[in-house]
Chain A
């Protein structure tokens, strides 16, 4: 299939579609269920509570330092399940391909999906392929749905966050967003920076299995750490205090953010989560996390203050307060994508 490209007929549902599936997808990530090519997957051995999630992936560029859109689709879906406390099991994966996409590139993505799914221990049980005319999609989109199994009595949810909880971050932040941006815009960062893409359920399951009373976890994708915490504070109605100096950020990311004028707190990650757990278990949790390469720079970054600790009309439900090195606290607020400067 060298030099071959995706044609509109590949999405027609006819012979070419079946060829694409048989020659590309099944050799890539086929399995006894998917190989049946039935209209739906039959899930067996379902005993525990199941967690069900769905996501779509649109990355420009599809290949970026440290990964590609295929691996990202698997990891992203698994991480959505992971932060609920679940172990990923089944995955549905659909492509929307742009006409004329080189099949060789699709092949690479399929291989990457296969490798990542194997690593994650998730089985791709169903999927679909559509092709759109040139210009209607930017190369390719992936849509997924994932099902995971809960081995704990209760899923991790914001409602379980308690006053006094420690707030941890599982690794240093900002690498994915900056790596993708630098690669897309061709910005020379002088240092190689890779996406932080990593599976989170091994870390979270390790914490749960070793007796950490995890209350809530949230992956820090779009909107970054700042966005996730603002959302959680609003959902659980508690105020959070973060210590700016304790948030792990690599020198490269820091320098790139300074150059670009972005706040690392609002840069996307793909292998990093915020964790809420009792203050007394922080040391144990960090010891467990740091055994994983995706948890190497894990750190406590703040605490949950409680409900309504700051009385101000500017703080709705719950607020996030960022304390700088001098102890001055500022209110963390949503930064829009085009962060417009406020200062004079």
Chain B
């Protein structure tokens, strides 16, 4: 097995906690050859479930001639081993080489010298559940491994074209779990007893499926089925080959195939067929947000995008996430224009299951691959739901009879100069356990957007999978149901509920109601940006003094305004808000967040630019002078103008000023346009520098000003300069050089501000969170500037910087009791 998780600071953190096995002081007996013999009881913890640890240890023990046994205890694996001291040490070393999976190897106690002497060889004992006071470690779903894929394509193999092929290294785990520990009886496979042949493989130490819990074959495994419209009906006895042919015909004819994948339903369409992609968008009600692609192979990914080595590792990792990668020029010619319009990146993923691989390799072209749902609703996972969606969401559905217990979307992440940023945390990630300060058993309900929940017990926290926006009733119901699933699996009853401070959050209202139920629970309000800060604190190795920059689009602040450009100084556990941008109004409240032109107007108003200049300068193809005049009235009369200092809104305003992005079609749309434009500016200026020419625009200089205890970032002079100096374009792709340089200068100014704060507070660690730091260009500019200053930029690789990570920070909020 190969564990190629590109480890970042988080992993180092865990490593530092890894307790060294204690050396025994006992007198060691010596065997006839004169080598000391030992017997030990060891406990293995970390991601020890569902990775084939027991058969692996058995194989090693046999090779080393050790006696003893190994047993899965749900949360941990226990093993007793006896034999020559060097061999026992060798076994431990081999275990430690698996560091990414086995975090902790603990010597529970030394056994009496003669122990296990009656035992012949090394045995795998049946699993036994163990009750511990912390949350249990759950096994992660793992994308199909290379060996299984080879067997799947080998006509001579017993599992040739068997869609549910898996082994000790791969296959579903968490998504089909009904109880702990991970064992066949505790999964959706419980009702599928292995056939005689599979039983033999299971019992054979030489077989690579020795003790593989989900061992199956076409005789005994789950069944594939298909559902089409009446005219493409599928007979009940259709073979997998028949069904794949149907699905292929559907895809090649421009149709949409619904597929039951590892942890939920997906929709697939040919990515080179514009009308198919448009139909998919129409059906999903997702007009412009970029769509991810399933590609047949790494080679295909490299054709469409620039795949760094780290990105390639993620693409092929067991987590098998969608990885955002810079598009190549060739991508535009190979893909339908509607796949990812006007964005610099493509989201790519490699097949997670044999079935996906089979389909996409047969098509031999990238497929659009997206969660089966209507936009803003949760991912479908029950057969009945996709069956009813045939004709509305998809044209043909490829299903199977394995029940999904923990539905999860595909995870999405970004690689940038060896740094990982997780944008959507779901399949492959949400089993991770985080160490938190011990305290009350706690439930955190997250925020209303990109909602996730988190649980903590006994110093261990888990963060649930991405759910979506809670305003959708179906998402709310899914959240409640999934929380019940988690609670049942973990035998979890909270004593405390942590919640965001926003009074309008549905999650907050829900938490308040929960806290008043039969047994009253403590309700802990955690301010939005402090929750972001704490999430990083839990997931990154940070020193005792550092500065935390929490920059996003909107979070309820202590002063009842909307924060989002916060700098907190953390010193020996004390968190102090030390800096933020100068605040500005949001004219028309929620409308201002949807319409960046209102922000451009508002910043101009706040910066003291005259009405006449504003009306003249900010008019565009879509925003009329009378609209501008009307919103100007709101500002003058201070009518429905909540106050904000959110950095994300500054990006919105600039996106309109430079590019005329008048509407945020999806979250972060305007800032992404600006980033795209600025990246092209960077390419230009590299070229200009090469030719010995200048061409830089002066950066957007945010000025430091002290107001009471707070440092205020005054953006007004810079805004005025840009307002009067900037040229204007209506397209990020074809913007004139001057606009691209200004977009770049804006990003540079924002990066300068971050490092100016680090300098001012004399810290060598900056903890970064909030959606703004998902900006690839901003990350690069920050990394470039931080290095010569010896400032370390810290953000977790496996916790989203957006509100998807909020619940983890909430759950880690110290228990005052």
Interface residues of A (CB under 8 A from B): 185-188, 190, 258-262, 310-316, 319, 321, 326-331, 333, 335-336, 338-344
Are A321 and B639 neighbours in the complex by a CB distance under 8 Å?
A: no
Known A-B contacts A261-B640, A330-B472, A343-B554; the reply to A187 vs B633 at CB < 8 A is yes
Contact A314 B631 (CB under 8 A): no
**A185 shortest CB reach to chain B, Å:** 5
Nearest chain A CB to B782 CB, angstrom units: 21
CB pair A187 B513 closer than 8 Å? no
Give Cα A162 to B803, complex, Å: 40
Q: How many angstroms from the CA of A311 to the CA of B513 in the assembled complex?
A: 13
B residues near A329, Cβ cutoff 8 Å = 472-474
- Is B509 within 8 A of A314, CB to CB? yes
Chain A residues with CB below 8 A from B626, complex form: 190
With a CB–CB cut-off of 8 A, which chain B residues contact A259? 588, 591, 627, 630-631, 634
Residue of B nearest to A187 (CB): B633
B464-488, CB < 8 A from A = 470-474, 476-477, 479-480
In the bound complex, residues from chain B placing their C-beta under 8 Å from that of A313 are 480, 510, 513-514
The interface centre, meaning the residue of A259, A315, A344 with most chain B CB atoms within 10 A of its CB, is A344
Contact between A310 and B556 (Cβ–Cβ < 8 Å)?
Answer: no
Are A312 and B476 also in contact (CB < 8 A) when A336-B503, A338-B642 are?
A: yes
CA distance A331 to B449 in the complex (A): 14
Query: Is B753 close to A, CB under 8 A?
Result: no
Q: Is B502 an interface residue (CB 8 A)?
A: yes
CB distance from B392 to the nearest CB of A (A): 9
Docked pose: A286 CA to B556 CA in angstroms: 44
User: Contact: A314 with B470, CB < 8 Å?
Assistant: yes
**In the docked arrangement, what's the CA distance between A336 and B509, Å?**
13
Are A344 and B552 in contact (CB-based, < 8 A)? yes
Residues of B within 8 A of A186 (CB): 637
B129 within 8 A of A: no
A314: contacting residue among B476, B589, B627, CB under 8 A: B476
Whether A261 touches B509, Cβ cut-off 8 Å, given contacts A328-B285, A344-B449, is: no
CA distance A339 to B502 in the complex (A): 11
Are B513's CB and A260's CB within 8 A?
A: no
Chain A residues with CB below 8 A from B506, complex form: 314, 331, 333
User: Closest chain B residue to A343 by CB distance?
Assistant: B593
In this complex, the member of A327, A328, A338 whose beta carbon has the largest number of chain B beta carbons within 10 angstroms is A328
Binary interface encoding of chain B residues 123-163 relative to chain A, with 1 for a CB under 8 A from any of its CBs, else 0: 00000000000000000000000000000000000000000
Residue ID in chain A nearest B514 by CB atoms: A313
User: Residue B55 at the A interface, CB < 8 A?
Assistant: no
Tell me the interface secondary structure of chain A in the complex.
loop
Contact mask for chain B residues 610-634; partner A; CB cutoff 8 A; 1 contact, 0 none: 0000000000000000110011011
Contact (Cβ within 8 A) B648 A344: yes
* B377 at interface, CB cutoff 8 A: yes
Known contacts A311-B477, A329-B473, then 9 further A-B pairs from the complex at CB < 8 Å, ordered by chain A residue: A261-B589, A262-B640, A331-B476, A333-B504, A339-B589, A340-B504, A342-B449, A343-B554, A344-B553
In contact, A340 and B374 (Cβ under 8 angstroms): no
Residues in B337-386 with C-beta less than 8 Å from chain A: 374-377
> Are A187 and B637 CB-contacts (below 8 A) given A328-B285, A341-B586, A344-B771?
yes
Contacts of B667 in A (CB 8 A): 343-344
Q: Is A342 a contact of B502 with CB atoms below 8 Å?
A: yes
Which residues in B have their C-beta under 8 angstroms from that of A310? 473, 476-477
Chain B residue contacts of A330, Cβ below 8 A:
471-473
When C-beta atoms are compared, the residue in chain B nearest to A260 turns out to be B640
Given A312-B477, A314-B476, decide whether A339 and B504 contact each other with a Cβ distance below 8 A. yes
Contacts A260-B639, A260-B640 given: A344-B554 contact, CB under 8 Å? yes
Contact sample, A vs B, 14 pairs, CB 8 Å cutoff: A187-B630, A190-B626, A259-B588, A259-B631, A314-B510, A328-B285, A328-B376, A328-B474, A331-B473, A335-B504, A339-B504, A340-B504, A341-B554, A343-B554
Cα distance, A186 to B376, chains bound together (Å): 38
| Shortest beta-carbon distance from A178 to chain B in Å | 12
Residues of B within 8 A of A312 (CB): 473, 476-477, 479-480, 510
B227 within 8 A of A: no
Q: Give A329 to B448 CA distance when docked, in angstroms.
A: 15
Docked complex Cα distance between A276 and B470 (Å) = 29
CB <8 Å contact, B586 and A333: no
